[in-house]
Every structure is written in C-alpha cells, then in structure tokens.
Amino acid sequence: LRVKMSVLNDALKNMVNAEKAGKRQVLLRPVSKVVVKFLRVMQKHGYINEFEIIDDKRAGKIIVDLNGRLNKCGVISPRFDLAVKNFEKVIYQILPSRQFGFVVLTTNQGIMDN
C-alpha cells in the first residue's frame, strides 16, 4: 500500500501520458478538491474538454475527455514561497516561451492562473 504523496501530480502525469499515447479519455483517481479546481482552469483555457466526477463511495474517480492540446503539465515541488514582486521572473523561468503556457498557483485564497 503506497501513500499518495501528490494527488495532483499523479493526476497531471496520467493526463500527459494518456495524451502522448493518443487516448481520448483518461481516468484519474483519487479525487481531490485541488484536482477538480485545476481541471476547471485547464478547461477554461481549452486544454481539456469535459470531465465527469464519479462518486464510488471511496476516494472517487474523474473521467477527463482529452482534446490533444496538452503538451506538458506538472507540479512544481517542493512548494516554495513566492513574493509578488518576483512573480514575473519565476514565470519566465518556468514557461517555455512568452506566447504560450500557463502557471497555475495554489494559494491560501484558492487557485489562481496568470
């Protein structure tokens, strides 16, 4: 029995792997609030289509419809403190170019995207 360290990281890896394998759908489990919010952000920016949360009376599952637009996504770990004044600089280091990509932050006020 392995303890899930990062539910979000596992979910994102599974999505990228399914996308690379050309799958149209991917099953993510377990479900967490953070994963659901993250998927909503991805949906808003058009990286995934619909997703459906299945309550199996355990940890739950999410079925995500992929659309082929996802190249890469992942979690930056360990989490580190980010001052607002350094924000732009950090984003430049993370993203491949100015034209595309999003950084999604989890904060104590919820999830933000740039």
Condensed to tens digits (0 to 9), the pLDDT of residues 10-63 reads 999 999 999 999 999 999 999 999 999 999 999 999 999 999 999 999 999 999
pTM over 0.85: no
pLDDT of residue 1: 61
| CA separation, residue 45 to residues 6, 14, 67, 110 (Å) | 23, 19, 12, 18
Q: How many CB atoms lie within 10 A of CB 31?
A: 20
Average pLDDT over residues 96-108: 82
Q: pLDDT confidence of 3, banded at 50, 70, 90?
A: low
